Amino acid sequence: MLFSSIPFLFYFLPITIFLYFICPKVLKNALLAIVSFIFYAWGEPRYVVIMIVAVAASYLFGLLTELHRGKWLSKLWLILALAVGFGMLCYFKYADFFISNFNGITGLSVPLLNVALPIGISFYTFQLTSYNIDVYRGDTKAQKNPIDLAAYISFFPQLIAGPIVRYTDIEKQLKHRTHTFEKIAYGSRRFIIGLSKKILIANALGELCDIFKATNDNSILFFWLYGIAFSLHIYFDFSGYSDMAIGLGSIFGFEFIENFNYPYISRSVTEFWRRWHMSLGSWFRDYVYIPLGGNRVSKLKFIRNIFIVWMFTGFWHGAAWNFIAWGLFFAVFLLLEKFLLKKLLDKSHIISRVYLLFLVMVSFILFNATDMKDAIITIGGLFGYGGHPIISTEFIYYLRSFAVIIVIAAIGATSLPKMLTLKLMGSKVKIISYLEPVFLALLLIMCTAYLVDGSFNPFLYFRF
């Protein structure tokens, strides 16, 4: 079930909130686990079993790891926990990638598995494995209550698209969390903002990207428009979802970590990744990069560590070569910045920002390509590859049609709206502050209107 859908907004969510707040405190986590499983089962009922197995294994191995702490068995339980988690991830997400590459290299025809990817498996696998590693390291105690662990893993706000909430961050909240009007109001506000980012901006920009992909009237400027639109689309889509998750978490009394911090105002790739998908970045830092030695090793090993981490970061996003290339693309520029570019970028705000935005745009074209060939053609198209004209009729039309949304998105991707809001809130004219609920209500109505219009499906014959 998607947050940006009528069944979620007007059926699942009101019922869940109602049940949650009338439910006795002792049963709240159980309720959250049950509704989360229903939420998950909505999309693909069979895969609930996969998640239950993953949670059960993690729970069991967590207890055993703690039981044998300090002994070799402890490591064995951890390895088994990781094997189950990553094994399932590999089977569902990566098996066909490996098979097709194996077939390509050997010329054999090993049949593909063609299994559907369980929704959110990349996210909850990382949460489960971080839990087991933390228990092994002694950073946290094993959770004795399976319902609490199930509630943590399956908790629907962060289940499908993160943020990757660490068990250590949420452990205390599972047992002791407060529910205040302030938190509910903050959560509602955050949720509506995220919903609006997704429905009003990301979806519109996604529509523009789809138009570009389908066009027969291409031009160099249309490639640039696509690159800009997709970069904004993916930010508003993903950060919108994170906002909704954080907001929903707050409504249910949880405080989730932030996942985005205006990444497009960064002045280097290094800074960008401190602001983009922060929960994933910190996961790789703590569970891959630092265990490999981080930067406290020889230069050569440091370079190796960067490439390993970024290859896996790319691969985590998708089982295709363009995702691996996407990760390695960032590795190259992170290293370049570390050894060459840092001083240069520090000199000019303008050059560093243009540099970052251009690199990120190119990276997301690579990210969204159907394969490496498509990526090369599209990135080449930015510079005239393919013999396209500079400008085309469709480019002009769609630029004019989407100009307002692009401008709103570009401004919205900076901290300017937040600064402006804070200034208005601090204004002596109190009425401005009270306009916020009205504004949020209007946004909710607009989002609903866009969702309802999504069902508009005229019987085309009657056009003629």
Task: Give the Cα separation of 55 and 159 in Å (integer).
Answer: 13
With CB under 8 A as the contact rule, the residue among 297, 344, 351, 403 that binds another protein is 403
Binding mask 27-66 for another protein (x = CB under 8 A): ---------------xxxxx--------------------
**Which residue in the list 68, 176, 277, 317 is annotated as catalytic?**
317
In 3D space, the residue among 244, 260, 246, 249 whose CA is nearest the CA of residue 4 turns out to be 244
Which residue, 67 or 449, is less far from another protein as judged by CB? 449
Mask: binding to another protein, 10-29, rule CB under 8 A, as x and -?
xx-xxx--------------
Pull the structure tokens for residue 341.
Answer: 């570019």
- Is there binding between residue 411 and another protein (CB under 8 A)? no
Interhelix angle 416-425/430-453, rounded to 10 degrees, is 140
Active site residue 277: no
Residue type, 119: I
Summary count for the chain: helices (H), strands (E) = 23, 0
User: Which of 75, 182, 358, 415 forms a contact with another protein (CB under 8 A)?
Assistant: 182
Choose one: 268-276, 360-368, 379-387, 437-445; the region binding another protein (CB under 8 A): 437-445
What are the CA-CA distances from residue 280 to residues 84, 90, 310 (Å)? 20, 18, 11
> Computed over its alpha carbons, how large is the radius of gyration of the chain?
24
Q: Does 452 bind another protein (CB under 8 A)?
A: yes
Contact 265, 274 (CB under 8 A): no
The correct pick among 185, 290, 382, 410 for binding another protein (CB under 8 A) is 185
For residues 369 and 192, give the distance between their C-alpha atoms in angstroms, rounded to a whole number.
Answer: 31
Residue 42 or 86: the one with the smaller Cβ distance to another protein is 42
In terms of CB distance, is 11 or 339 closer to another protein? 11
Q: Which residue blocks in 269-317 are alpha helix, DSSP H?
A: 269-275, 278-284, 299-317
| Per CB under 8 A, 6 contacts another protein | yes
**98 part of the interface to another protein, by CB under 8 A:** no
Query: Measuring CA to CA, which residue among 72, 73, 39, 66 is closest to residue 134?
Result: 66
Q: Are 378 and 184 in contact (CB under 8 A)?
A: no
| 265's tokens | 């105002």
* Among 279, 82, 17, CA closest to 169: 279
Instruction: Select the residue interacting with another protein from 19, 56, 60, 184 (CB under 8 A).
Output: 184
Q: Taking CB under 8 A as the rule, does residue 455 contact another protein?
A: yes
At 90, give phi and psi (nearest 5°): -65, -45
Which is closer to another protein, CB of 113 or CB of 407? 407
Kindly state the greatest CA–CA separation across the chain. 78
Residues 198-217 that bind another protein (CB under 8 A): 200, 204, 216-217
Q: Which is nearer to another protein, 351 or 424 (CB)?
A: 424
Instruction: Using the rule CB under 8 A, give the single segment among 1-9, 87-95, 144-152, 277-285 that binds another protein.
Output: 1-9
Q: Work out how close the CB of 45 gets to another protein at its nearest, in angstroms, rounded to a whole number.
A: 6
Q: Which residues are catalytic?
A: 317
Residues that bind another protein (CB under 8 A): 1, 5-7, 9-11, 13-15, 42-46, 181-182, 184-186, 188-189, 192, 200, 204, 216-217, 393-394, 396-397, 400-405, 408, 433-434, 436-438, 440-441, 444-446, 448-459, 461-464
